[in-house]
Amino acid sequence: MFQNFRLAMAWLHTWFGLVLGFVLMAVFFFGALSVFDREIDRWAIPESRFEPQPMPSFDKVLRPVFESMQPRPESVATLRGEVNGPIPERFDIVRRWGAYTTHRDPVLNMFAGYEVPNAKDPEKTVWGSRTIDPRNGRSLPDDQLKIGSQFFYPLHYSLNFHWLDLGYWIVGLAALIMLVALVTGVIMHRKIFREFFTFRPAKHIQRSTLDLHNLTGVLALPFHFFFAFTGLVIFAGLYFPVAHSQLEPLHELHEKLEAEETGLPEDRAGVPAPLASVDAMVAEAQRRWAAQGMSGDVGFLAVQHVGDANGYVSIYRAGTDRIALTSNGIHFKASTGEVLREDPPPSAVDRVAEFLTGLHLQHFRHWLLRWLYVLGGLTGCVCIATGLIFFVEKRKRQHARQGSQGARVADALAVTTITGMLLAALGMMIANRLLPQAMPAGWPGRGDLEEYVFWASWLLAMAHAFWRSPPVAQGRLSPAWGEQCWAVCALSVAAVLLNWITTGDHLLRTVAEGYWPVAGVDLFLLASAALAATAARRLARVARAVPAMQPGGKPEAAHA
Amino acid sequence: MAATDATTSHVIARIAAALLGGYAFTWGLIALGMAGLFALGMPFHDAEHLSSMLALLAYLGVFCWAFAARSLPRVWAVLAGGGVLMAAAASLIQHMLV
């Protein structure tokens, strides 16, 4: 099909890079934001602007909340057609209670899984969740969206498109293509060492774009490769559900052997039993960690088979100072508090898997590395964006001569994914500050509205990008680029001002108090505004210098 | 126009071979790795993680190869054929263990 190996690889790089580049842009950008997902949550939920808290007392704080929980209506809605008879009104058999926290969480996220009586699939579970203030056990309103950890973060790996899990599959394909683009990119450019040092910003757009594309691609090559690869590894079980389909019998065999070996019951006994003091179990777990020279906080706490004689409590150490999210699990009999099992040290393969996924998810404490992640992610965005722009720049004069619309469409889509994506995120943050605390009856929830604003802003940006794209078909620059940069600038400043007006937390106060989650988001927004303004002014200068072209003809004289 | 059509269909055939053939090959590799390593005494989830990590890297390799190789039928034979063979071997191992 291709004349030689290098041309084949170049074709692969260009066309897969173009098609999946639009997805990769979003994956890299929202991945970079997710590094500070909890800090963005603080910005979006002013009530949660207080210091991170350790796991609170189970007996006094968590237990009453868990006991008052029920599955979410959306989770119960998935039962339609899955139950013999009517869908139950209440769910009282609890499979699992769980709470996970990290060194960056002031509020605590709790979840509960319930058995479904008469379910066609006996393993079917419905889920409920609750966010509480761990200082007093008060629940936060359900319709408050944690924009960072519940919207930007899942957008990063699922595009928040859950029908048939299609979003996960698209992102998975994009990650594979990212790896392919890195490999083929290296093959295309033999002078890889020189590209470390080559950037000619003063040359024409096409040349400097390619320089920047190569520079950001090569310089951060290990970063890009690592994150695309580990992203695939994290969801390998979803993309290749071998253990839950073809090799399900083998998996069940393993689970039976494991239950025998660990002594942790797989199923309920059917005999009711009370729950002993979990606080005492936590104290015992912490005593054992300290005895091993690893004193630490509780990161994850779970109760399995709640209220049953087979129930057990699992307590995991928080991975604040470790790459693994949690470790050193200790399991207690729920009814007596006796220790059933202490997890053995992880195997070699476990350690590798923990290292790869833990380094990707970064729940540990390392603020410098956290910022380097943001930098790496944004470098990836620059690499992808310049790739898209180069695609257009290389073709638009030729397309203008031929009267083709290809470059124009690609350019409008590039505007949509690059500046349009920023506008969507900013629109959401502004909506978050402007919507009333509680929506009037009959309206969608506050969080739902914020999501609608996000997608609507993006659509609007897309419409604008296409509306302003005709100059591209004449070999010129689309004014949409500059206009959207100005919009990014204005909305970023507006978001910072609105945060000040609605919460009183202006930068002088947050910086003086050293409250970095909110100060950091505000400063980041202001830096974005400055960068967008600079970009807009430079774009205006470039636009004046580029003459228009007619199909089949020579360049016209430039009009301002 | 005939030339363009041929190119388009060639391109689609290559993409299908790389994506679907590559997927089948990767699935087979994971399945065989899991069943095989488990049979050799490795803990189940270790076998699962190890073979997934290696097989994903293999997917990257065969994906590129599907475009570089001269003969498309050979690509299909290796990827789909190999995938089916490895998956069958995995099922056979499972059959002996369970």
The model carries a pTM of: 0.94
- Identify each DSSP E strand in A306-398 by its residue range: 312-318, 326-333, 339-342
B25 touches chain A (CB under 8 A): no
B85 touches chain A (CB under 8 A): no
Q: Do B53 and A249 touch (CB under 8 A)?
A: no
A356 touches chain B (CB under 8 A): yes
User: So what's the pLDDT on residue A278?
Assistant: 98
User: So what's the pLDDT on residue A5?
Assistant: 87
Q: Tell me if B10 is assigned to some domain.
A: no
The beta-carbon neighbor of B10 closest among A1, A183, A254 is A1
Q: Do A243 and B14 touch (CB under 8 A)?
A: no
Distance from CA of B79 to the nearest CA of A (A): 16
Encoding tokens for residue A192? 């890889």
Disruptive mutation site among B15, B48, B75 for chain A (greatest number of A CBs within 10 Å): B48
Complex ipTM > 0.85: yes
Q: Tell me if B21 is assigned to some domain.
A: no
Q: Do B56 and A8 touch (CB under 8 A)?
A: no
Q: Do A247 and B90 touch (CB under 8 A)?
A: yes
How far is it, in rounded angstroms, from Cα A450 to Cα A425? 10
User: So what's the pLDDT on residue A28?
Assistant: 98
| pLDDT over 70 (residue B27) | yes
Q: Do A180 and B27 touch (CB under 8 A)?
A: no
User: So what's the pLDDT on residue A2?
Assistant: 76
User: So what's the pLDDT on residue A30?
Assistant: 98
Distance from CA of A506 to the nearest CA of B (A): 47
User: So what's the pLDDT on residue A1?
Assistant: 64
| pLDDT over 80 (residue B84) | yes
Q: Do A249 and B14 touch (CB under 8 A)?
A: no
| pLDDT over 50 (residue B4) | no
Distance from CA of A248 to the nearest CA of B (A): 10
Phi first, then psi: what are they for A83, rounded to 5°? -120, 140
Q: Tell me if B57 is assigned to some domain.
A: yes
In A199-238, the residues whose Cβ lies within 8 Å of chain B are: 229, 232-233, 236-237
Distance from CA of B97 to the nearest CA of A (A): 8
Encoding tokens for residue A330? 């200790």
User: So what's the pLDDT on residue B3?
Assistant: 40
Encoding tokens for residue A469? 């794209």
CB contacts, 8 Å: A180 with chain B:
60, 63-64
How far is it, in rounded angstroms, from Cα A459 to Cα A467? 12
In B41-60, the residues whose Cβ lies within 8 Å of chain A are: 42-46, 48-50, 52-53, 55-57, 59-60
| pLDDT over 80 (residue B6) | no
Q: Tell me if B47 is assigned to some domain.
A: yes
Q: Do B91 and A246 touch (CB under 8 A)?
A: yes
- The count of CB pairs under 8 A between chains A and B is 95
Alpha-carbon distances of A55 from A279, A281, A331, A518, rounded to whole Å: 11, 13, 17, 23
Distance from CA of B81 to the nearest CA of A (A): 17
Compute how many other C-beta atoms are within 10 angstroms of the C-beta atom of residue A190.
10
Encoding tokens for residue A194? 């020189």
User: So what's the pLDDT on residue A551?
Assistant: 63
Q: Tell me if B54 is assigned to some domain.
A: yes
Q: Nearest-CA neighbor of A169 among A266, A74, A236, A259?
A: A236
3 state SS for A312-338: EEEEEEECCCCCCCEEEEEEEECCCCC
β-strand pairing of A312-318 with A125-133: unpaired
Q: How many domains does chain B have?
A: 1
CB contacts, 8 Å: A240 with chain B:
26-27, 30, 52, 55
User: So what's the pLDDT on residue A188?
Assistant: 85
Residue A36 CA neighbour count, 13 Å, CB half: 26
A254 touches chain B (CB under 8 A): yes
Which residues contact residue A106 at a Cβ distance below 8 angstroms, ignoring those fewer than 6 apart? A42, A48, A49, A50, A51, A52, A53, A133, A134
Burial class for A265, CB neighbours closer than 10 Å (0-12, 13-18, 19+): middle
User: So what's the pLDDT on residue A343?
Assistant: 95
- Average pLDDT per 10 consecutive residues for chain A, totaling 560 residues: 84 94 97 97 96 97 97 91 90 96 96 94 93 95 92 97 94 98 88 69 81 91 97 97 96 91 91 97 98 96 97 97 95 97 95 96 96 97 96 92 93 97 98 93 93 98 97 93 98 98 96 96 98 96 79 49
Burial class for B2, CB neighbours closer than 10 Å (0-12, 13-18, 19+): exposed
Alpha-carbon distances of A243 from A254, B33, B52, rounded to whole Å: 11, 12, 11
User: So what's the pLDDT on residue A196?
Assistant: 66
A269 touches chain B (CB under 8 A): no
Q: Nearest-CA neighbor of A188 among A19, A13, A15?
A: A13
User: So what's the pLDDT on residue A357?
Assistant: 96
Query: Is residue B94 within 8 Å of residue B35, measured between CB atoms?
Result: yes
Q: Do A350 and B46 touch (CB under 8 A)?
A: yes
Amino acid in position A85? G
Q: Nearest-CA neighbor of A250 among B36, B1, B15?
A: B36
User: So what's the pLDDT on residue A545?
Assistant: 81
CB contacts, 8 Å: B35 with chain A:
247, 250
B10 touches chain A (CB under 8 A): yes
The beta-carbon neighbor of B46 closest among A246, A249, A349 is A349
User: So what's the pLDDT on residue A558?
Assistant: 40
B65 touches chain A (CB under 8 A): no
B36 touches chain A (CB under 8 A): no
Instruction: Identify the domain containing residue B83 by its residue range.
Output: 27-97
- Section B12-31 average pLDDT: 97
